[in-house]
Structure 1
Amino acid sequence: MTLWQPLQDELAQWRDAGRSASLWLRDDDAIAPTPALDRLADLARGHDVPVALAIIPARTGPDLASRLAAETIIHPVIHGWSHANHAPAPEKKQELGPHRPRATLLGELANGLARLRALYGDRLTPMLVPPWNRIDPSLLDDLPETGFTGLSAFGHKLASRPGLAVINTHIDIVDSRAGNRCRDHGMLIAGLVQELQEARAVGGSRPVGVLSHHLVSDDDAFRFLADLFALAAQSGTVNWKSPADLLQSVAPRSI
């Protein structure tokens, strides 16, 4: 059995059932044009895979917007405000935790949304990606009034609510605790298969999200994405979704 055979077998079950599996790719921490971003864009463009690029508003500017102006495969979303940690040790890092006044947090997010709208206009999808995938759940009720229609974290913990679709990622290909090395490909494939099996069990409507970080991705991480994109294309049963696609199609529930 080849390394990718379990995923091929799972996608065959989708195909035999007359269904298409929905996948999406989110890449975090964009600030400026880099060779790593060029590599990601070239790879995604070659397989027609849309990328939800989470951009840090306080740390970006016109250079990145100019680089992405003609890059239709890249879809900007909002990565908090400045990606600054405000949680005291030994708590896990958070920018959007309960450590600062609520008005301050919402003001920063509103400024971030306005800044990226000025840079990207209608290309911006108003989806909030909390830095480190962590956010005080009590903030979610205020996000629609701030201008957000979607939120993307990691896993299955947060639930959607009226006006705000939670569209999470589920497979993180980079292991930050191991020096930002790519995780074992067999483990990543097993995780994808499990998420797709669970999605198929609930009717196939739940998209499965893959998370990458171009700035710290090694050759092994890019190789994993290249192999995944190629296999998905060969399967004939995978639809890669943009963040706007997801916001339009996902009912308000946790995914």
Structure 2
Amino acid sequence: MSDALLRNAIDTVAAQGRKVRLWLRDDDAVEPTEALDRLLELTHEHMVPVTLAVIPKDTGTPLIRRLDKAPHSSVALHGWSHHNYASAAEKKQELGLHRTAPVVLAELKEGFDKLAALYSARFIPMLVPPWNRIAPALLPGLPSLGLKLLSVFGKEQPTSPIPLVNTHVDIMDWHGTGGGRPADALFAELASWIGREDAPPMIGILTHHLVHDAAAWTFLKTLLAITATHPACEWVSPDVRSSTRTSSR
């Protein structure tokens, strides 16, 4: 495993008197599991905040109790049920226009209200669309639901009507092994994001604790060990007060 590219990228930022701001988003939490325990223990060990994209339909008291023991965790809205309404010929999507916009937005409002009530101050008013996909026509309706942030995958687009806090490096090999991607490729990809002239204010790492294999866990453990103690790195949580509205750049 070669992490030299990442270390060099961080050291370059340090030499310039700047900092790398990173954030960790983990998707599909519903209830406590051994995998979630492992994620929470690992992030706690390195004092790294983690934002859990929680599916509201089936979550409840057990996860509340587990997260009460993990003060470094926060909760975001992950759709309503993580149900795919797209056809077999389309990419999976819950928040598309396969149903009417009022129906989709009403479900999101129900999910928002449920998570806000269950998780209180731990809840961030941020939508994480299942599969990182949402129909553009739905975006203007999100603020009226109480949502202040949107998080999908990839470079933030300048036309978004709602502030974006995206993830940029997905550690999973969804179209190959189904497990963790090769560490060398992940370190190189993260180094590339750090070195970009148009690097986002916060570079997001995307994980899915329920499907992590040994490679995924090893990469994440190494990444946290490298970055959590580096003076030029800062792990942060999404904050509506400090997020950047990309359309105003």
Match of 1:196 in 2: 194
| Residue deviations 1:183-223 (CA, integer Å, cap 9, x gap) | 0111111110111111xx24x66211100000001121111
More helix by share: 1
- My pick for the range that moved more, 118-127 or 228-237, is 228-237
Q: Decide which of 232, 235, 238 is 1:243's aligned counterpart.
A: 238
Alpha-carbon distance, 1:176 to partner: 2.0
Q: Decide which of 185, 206, 213 is 1:211's aligned counterpart.
A: 206
Judge conservation of contact 2:156–2:164 (CA < 8 Å) in 1.
no
Give the 3 Å change call, closer, same or farther, for CA 57–41 of structure 1 in structure 2.
Answer: same
1-side partners of 2:51 and 2:229: how far apart? 22
2-side partners of 1:161 and 1:213: how far apart? 25
1:144 paired to 2:143: yes
Alpha-carbon distance, 1:179 to partner: 4.3
Count, aligned residues: 248
1:174 paired to 2:178: no
2-side partners of 1:146 and 1:169: how far apart? 23
Runs of at least 4 residues off by over 6 Å:
none
Match of 2:38 in 1: 39
Q: Decide which of 179, 182, 185 is 1:184's aligned counterpart.
A: 182
2-side partners of 1:112 and 1:136: how far apart? 18
Three-state SS of the structure 1 residue aligned to 2:124 is coil
Q: Return 5+ residue gaps in structure 1 as ranges.
A: none
Match of 2:124 in 1: 125
Give the 3 Å change call, closer, same or farther, for CA 159–29 of structure 1 in structure 2.
Answer: farther
1:66 paired to 2:68: no
Three-state SS of the structure 2 residue aligned to 1:120 is helix
Match of 1:83 in 2: 82
Give the 3 Å change call, closer, same or farther, for CA 95–63 of structure 1 in structure 2.
Answer: same
2-side partners of 1:14 and 1:119: how far apart? 40
Counterpart residue type for residue 175 of structure 1: D
2-side partners of 1:96 and 1:184: how far apart? 31
Match of 1:221 in 2: 216
Three-state SS of the structure 1 residue aligned to 2:217 is helix
- The TM-score, its normalising length taken from structure 2, stands at 0.95
2-side partners of 1:171 and 1:191: how far apart? 7
2-side partners of 1:223 and 1:234: how far apart? 18
2-side partners of 1:27 and 1:188: how far apart? 16
1-side partners of 2:222 and 2:235: how far apart? 15
**Matched-pair identity in %:** 43
Three-state SS of the structure 1 residue aligned to 2:175 is helix
Q: Return 5+ residue gaps in structure 2 as ranges.
A: none
Provide the aligned C-alpha RMSD in A: 1.6
2-side partners of 1:155 and 1:125: how far apart? 20
Alpha-carbon distance, 1:62 to partner: 1.1
| Residue deviations 1:96-149 (CA, integer Å, cap 9, x gap) | 011110000000000000111111112100100000000001211110111100
Alpha-carbon distance, 1:69 to partner: 1.3
